[in-house]
Homo-oligomer: A and B are copies of this chain.
Amino acid sequence: MALPKIILHGYWRSSASYRVRIALNMKGVAVTHRSVNLRAGDQKQSAHLDLNPQGYVPILELEDGTCLTQSLAVLDYLDATYPEPALMPRDAILRSKILAASLVIASDIHPIQNLSVLKYIRAEYGQGDAAVKEWVQHWITRGFESLEAMGNASKEFFLTDTPMFFECCLIPQIYNARRFGVDMTPFPKLLAVEARCQALSAFENALPENQADAPTADE
């Protein structure tokens, strides 16, 4: 069987790649996964920079070679191109609120704990593992506090009764939070959404440890 012609350039543990994997699974869009090993520095190679001058993952490479970058912009493309199930509602206000919550993660949490920022703090400010962990925990906790206040507890998911755009962002960020030892107990609304998402195969199949490029347990 031929491999799907749409290619997702990503990395198992990249939370922005993880967002796109969830959306692709929800939409039922088959892609060929191509691993960009961030720990080995693949993202700084010219082959990668030719596809995305920013040197980040994910990149969704379409059949004609068009490369889409920035996970939220990829989600927007997928939702426009594969309408079912919808990642965004039609109502402009609800849509704006879902996007705002997604941006709390994609703008105000994730970039500040990105690999390149952590490297800067280590190299320029001489900070070690404990300080880096504290930095990451600080920004995740601060963002999650806002989100906990923004959710609608009367809905099955964050603001809606089906998982949407926001849930594609939330689940990878909670995964990251656990990795950095963030105390999740103050965030019951977020945890309830997480539990409902985890029961769905679109989310399960997108899990970092379920990717082909994830290391085996003893690595």
Contacts and interface: CB of A to CB of B under 8 A. Distances in A.
Interface residues of A, number: 45
A70 B105 CA distance: 11
Contacts of A93: 62, 66, 68, 77
Interface stretch (A36-44, A109-117, A174-182, A184-192): A109-117
B70 A100 contact: yes
Interface in A26-78: 53-56, 62, 66, 68-70, 72-74, 76-77
Contact of A103 (B73, B97, B127): B73
A146 B112 contact: no
B112 A110 contact: no
A106 B104 contact: no
B138 A104 contact: no
Contact of A70 (B76, B104, B120): B104
B106 A107 contact: yes
Given A100-B69, A104-B54, A107-B106, A125 B121 contact: yes
A168 to B, nearest CB: 15
A111 B100 CA distance: 14
B111 A107 contact: yes
A149 interface: yes
A129 B148 CA distance: 34
A131 B123 CA distance: 13
A121 B111 CA distance: 16
Contacts of A212: none
Nearest to A150: B53
10 contacts: A53-B149, A68-B96, A68-B97, A70-B99, A70-B107, A76-B96, A80-B95, A108-B114, A112-B112, A125-B127
Top 9 nearest A-B pairs by Cβ distance?
Answer: A53-B149, A70-B100, A73-B100, A80-B92, A77-B96, A73-B99, A54-B146, A70-B103, A125-B125
